[in-house]
A and B are shown apart, each in its own frame.
Chain A
Amino acid sequence: MLVTRTPYRSKTDRNLSWLFVLPVILILLVAAFIPLGWGAWLSLFRYKLNLPAARAFIGLKNYLDIFTDELTMLSLRNNVIFASLSVSVELVVGVTVAMMLSDDSKLFRGLISVLMIPMIIAPVVSGTLWRMMADRTYGVVNYLLSFLGIAPVSWIGDPKLALYTVTFVDTWQYIPFVAVLVLSSIKALPTSFLDAARVDGASPWKVFWRIILPIISPVIIIVAMIRFIDAFKVFDTIFVMTQGGPGNATEMLPTYIYRQGIKFLNIGYSSATAIVFVISMSLIAWAFSRLRDRQLRRLG
């Protein structure tokens, strides 16, 4: 991605080059590198902010505790369900919609603008909005479903349903993201070989399934990776819709780390969980990019 150019060797330019990147390095140092390193360091301590005297170095004990902490495991389980379910639905619907809107027409261009609205509004707004609509008594969702003869459902209050409700909201918000990205890669396809396929008499479904889908699969894999990681990082939606409840039914890793660190001031432990989170995400990203490389090689 970075092409080196060989400019004139002047001293002023060399100094200016450094001066230009200096602010960025300073900002990242203060707001990203130092906090990350500090977090890793804190994760080795038993450290509760409300009991500062009890601070003690305990090595990797916090990390071992993660695996015996039922709440962490529950948050992990919820998070995996949330991420896999929302991403799969987003991919299926997103790709379908992208295909349907890929033909050039004024109507479709207008629809694409509308399609983009959910993905750019603040998640905190979509969360509050759906929290309002999904209310058991005053919510419009139950009202609309009553016309189909469905009795009022407690979308947020029922521990069995709440997880799927927040998953739905995430899906609602990010189907457009998938659709827009896939759409731009479909539009970038050369028309020539699609014409060839048509001349050969392939049905539109076959063209989609046998030609388009394999060719755009590397893009789909990357979009899936981005969405999967972002879904694991979910915070705003949960924060306003359920606060992790009812009980712990919608607790996710980020909200749990928030609760441990900011609410319970259990700094050592929450830092350890955070570090494990970063490592797991990197592994997932690595796996996805391996998958994409394999797919790219297969396509030649």
Chain B
Amino acid sequence: MRTRGMRLGNFLSLPVRIVVLVVLFAAILFPFYWLISNAFKMEQEYYHSPPIMFPSKLTLQNFQDIVLKYGLPRGLLNSVLIATGTTACTVFFGSLASYSLVNGMLPRRLKKLFAGWFLIQKMYPAIVVAVPVFYIIRTLRLMDNVLALVLMNTSFNLPLVILLMVGFFQEAPYEVEEQSMLDGCNLLQRYVYVTAPMVRAGLIATGMLTFVASWNELLYAVILTIVRAKPLTVTIAGFITDKALVWGPMAAMGCVVILPVLLIMWLMQRDFISGVSAGALKA
């Protein structure tokens, strides 16, 4: 990169930089140490004043509790269904639509509509449509059903996925597309055999962003589920809103909720950064 260039970090003196970085990274990492250590603490140690920094004995009791008493299996199943369902729907429908917007024969106005919708959707919080959505879901008889959350999460994530996928499809070499058109492939065949494979990286990146967003979603999960379809985000919120603060199990649950997201990020960090910045800065 900047082989001969100046080191930009030097804009502050070395001691200042060291202090800032140490404080910042301690502030980032310590809460996670606290989460993980509490997940393995025994009851008399997570309820201790003053708090115990280093547990004297590690236990799996909290994890056993969340499985047996606090509904981890059901919540986990729901979270997985919601997040994978949303990811599959969003990436499939979103990429088809973006492909059609780039290479299909659609009126210009429709393309503008999608671009505009992406902006509008950023402006309003999900809560704004909560009441009408509640009615619609009840009318469709989807209350307390994971399908309702797949539908809602899909609609929230579609605009970003379409925006990003349109970019990927535009970057894909058009000559191949043209050639296969001359060979007599129709739009569907071109999508499946020619262009979709070329933008695989984009499909994976947008899929990840969608998975993380729908895995983390809380508001609609609170409004549209009662018992059967509750995902983990609702379960963990319930530790604070419904039950007394049982910190050990709560911390264990927190670990379960963040683990898949951390794994995804660790596997695909580069795509994640570019996905986030593209989504933010393209608008």
- Interface residues of chain A, those whose CB is within 8 Å of chain B, are 1-5, 7-10, 12-14, 16-18, 20-21, 23-24, 27-28, 30-32, 34-36, 38-39, 42, 93, 96-97, 99-104, 111, 113-118, 120-126, 128-133, 135, 137-140, 143, 146, 172, 175-177, 180-181, 184-187, 191, 194-195, 197-198, 204-205, 207-209, 212, 219, 222-223, 226, 229, 232-233, 235-236, 239-241, 243, 254, 257-258, 261-262, 267, 270-271, 274-275, 277-278, 281-282, 285
Is residue B70 within 8 Å, beta carbon to beta carbon, of the partner chain?
Answer: no
A34 to B10 CA separation, bound complex (whole angstroms) = 54
Are B106 and A13 touching (Cβ within 8 A)? no
Is residue B254 within 8 Å, beta carbon to beta carbon, of the partner chain?
Answer: yes
SS of A interface (majority): helix
Residue of B nearest to A195 (CB): B5
A274-B127 contact, Cβ under 8 Å, with A13-B104, A31-B155 = yes
SS of B interface (majority): helix
- Interface residues of chain B, those whose CB is within 8 Å of chain A, are 1-2, 4-12, 17, 20-21, 24-25, 27-29, 31-32, 34-35, 38, 46-51, 53, 89, 93-94, 96-97, 99-106, 108, 110-112, 115, 117, 119-136, 151-152, 154-155, 158, 162-163, 166-167, 170, 174, 181, 186-188, 191, 212, 215-216, 218-219, 222-223, 233, 236-237, 239-241, 245, 247, 250-251, 254, 257-258, 261-262, 265-266, 269, 272-274, 276-277, 280-283
Are A36 and B7 touching (Cβ within 8 A)? no
Chain A proximity of B169: nearest CB distance (Å): 10
Are B117 and A28 touching (Cβ within 8 A)? yes
Q: Beyond A14-B104, A97-B20, A132-B38: 6 further Cβ-contacts under 8 Å?
A: A2-B101, A21-B96, A31-B152, A116-B265, A207-B6, A281-B123
* Most chain A beta-carbon contacts within 10 A, residue among B46, B129, B133, B158: B129
Residue of B nearest to A218 (CB): B281
Are A117 and B262 touching (Cβ within 8 A)? yes
- A184: which B residues are within 8 A, CB to CB? 273-274, 277
Are B8 and A262 touching (Cβ within 8 A)? no
- A257: which B residues are within 8 A, CB to CB? 127-128, 130
